[in-house]
Amino acid sequence: MTQQITAVSALASFLHKAKSRGQTVGFVPTMGALHEGHLAIVRKARQENNLTVVSIYVNERQFNNSEDFLKYPRHEESDLSLLQGEGVDIVYFPQTAELFTQENLPINFSLNGLDVLLEGASRPGHFKGVVEVVHALFMHVQPTKAYFGLKDFQQVAVLRKMVKELQLPVELVAVPTVRAENGLALSSRNQRLSEEQRQEALILFKTLCFLKEHYQKTPHNELLAQAKANIHSSSLKLDYLEIVDPETLISLNEHHPQALACVAAFCGEVRLIDNMLLIAQ
Ligand code: AMP
């Protein structure tokens, strides 16, 4: 049976008993408004652990735009029933005052610039907010493994760096992006798109596929320019489209054996991101 927990003390006592019986804990942090992308992660966590904890917390600290925070979809009731349907053990609704205490905040460590590129450049302070909340949640849950989606590729890179630098005793697991049948990456923010906008937003996936298809055959700069023109000719407002080294996230300006295309664009008021590896691994 799924337990709903809001107090860290209740969470700790439940998990303490489980861990003292040698049970492993898989943890999936979310901001709710759950979709199949979240559920794919939850299923993986369930397969690999004795207990699964899913947190739902819309973290104001990682929003650099207060309107985006206010308009972020919130569906606690339906989220809860989806998670019950998946057989999740604990749905944790943390309280802000218990999260951001002095001892839960990460001590200073270097993200080696990973937090100021791409999303970090467009959304100053975003990754500071992400690191703070995930670190605090790790302190509360103390999971064996924690699961994140590659839809937020840079977030995974930043959190891996945090875990490494702070030597946190948790294994991070990255889960592939789940897409709608037509290719649109699932996102809670898609709920704010009209049917017509969802069709228009497909340009992001199509452009990533275009890059992947032509990457080995077309000169780097020419290909990138064509891909940008593709988005500029749509109704979306391009924020960035870059081909980067997936390790460092530094922009590439020539062909590289490992390359990741990252895109961010506004569809109406809604900011969407997506990414794709350009060379099969
Ligand atoms: P969010 O609720 O947006 O904070 O997302 C919670 C987790 O789900 C994060 O690790 C995201 O990267 C992941 N996620 C969101 N959308 C997708 C998707 N379409 N496919 C896979 N993972 C996703």
Tell the residue number behind the tokens 């206010």, with chain if given. 70
Of 58, 52, 55, 57, nearest to 86 by C-alpha is: 52
> Which atom of ligand 1 is closest in space to residue 147's alpha carbon?
10
Q: Is the CB of 123 under 6 A from ligand 1?
A: no
Tell the residue number behind the tokens 């999303």, with chain if given. 119
pLDDT for res 144: 98
pTM summary value: 0.97
pLDDT for res 281: 43
Q: Is the CB of 136 under 6 A from ligand 1?
A: no
Q: Is the CB of 175 under 6 A from ligand 1?
A: yes
Determine which one of 16, 38, 214, 220 is catalytic. 38
Domains (ranges, CATH) in the chain?
3-175 (3.40.50.620), 188-275 (3.30.1300.10)
Q: Is the CB of 204 under 6 A from ligand 1?
A: no
Of 91, 247, 104, nearest to 164 by C-alpha is: 247
> Which atom of ligand 1 is closest in space to residue 179's alpha carbon?
19
pLDDT for res 265: 98
Examine the residue annotation and report whether 126 is marked as an active-site residue of this protein. Answer: no
Residue pLDDT tens, the chain, 281 long: 999 999 999 999 999 999 999 999 999 999 999 999 999 999 999 999 999 999 999 999 999 999 999 999 999 999 999 999 999 999 999 999 999 999 999 988 999 999 999 999 999 999 999 999 999 999 999 999 999 999 999 999 999 999 999 999 999 999 999 999 999 999 999 999 999 999 999 999 999 999 999 999 999 999 999 999 999 999 999 999 999 999 999 999 999 989 999 999 999 999 999 999 997 54
How far, in Å, is the centroid of ligand 1 from the Cα of 118?
Answer: 18
Strand partners, 275: 262
How many Cβ atoms sit within 10 Å of the Cβ of residue 128?
A: 17
For 168, the token pair is 């946190």
The 8-class DSSP code of residue 277 comes to E
> Which atom of ligand 1 is closest in space to residue 188's alpha carbon?
3
Of 41, 52, 32, 43, nearest to 94 by C-alpha is: 32
Q: Is the CB of 276 under 6 A from ligand 1?
A: no
DSSP 24-39: -EEEEEE-S---HHHH
Burial of 2: CB neighbours in 10 Å, binned 0-12, 13-18, 19+: middle
For ligand 1, atom 14, the nearest C-alpha belongs to 149
pLDDT for res 279: 79
For ligand 1, atom 11, the nearest C-alpha belongs to 149
pLDDT for res 116: 97
Of 136, 216, 187, nearest to 33 by C-alpha is: 187
Q: Is the CB of 41 under 6 A from ligand 1?
A: yes
C-alpha distances (whole Å) from 111 to each of 39, 108, 163, 226 are 29, 10, 10, 32
